[in-house]
Structure 1
Amino acid sequence: MPTLVRFLIICLIITGAVYGTMLALVTFVDPAERDVTIRIPPERLDPERLAPK
């Protein structure tokens, strides 16, 4: 039984560290917004229209 308790305590400590890290990231990190432009070649938009017949 002591081995099971030790295992559960270690799992709780690891889980607490993960949640603490996530909370710190949410609290202290402010992502910057920016515009993203992706150019798509016309062949990918309508390949049937541009295909040779």
Structure 2
Amino acid sequence: MYKFEKVGQDFYGVRTPSEIRLIYGGKCPRCGHEITVPNLEDINIKPKKKIPAVL
């Protein structure tokens, strides 16, 4: 299920890092650090923890 957060929003789902960077002018609105687009080395994929089966 998708919802539009504001008038003029023209996409569904989560924004990409590039879109967020453009919105905030390349800087984090909270701390002021530069927002960068992650590369393949920055992305870590981990297996989901298994939940024990309850009988």
TM-score, normalised via structure 2 length: 0.26
TM-score, normalised via structure 1 length: 0.27
Structure showing the higher helix proportion among its residues: 1
**The structure with more radius of gyration:** 1
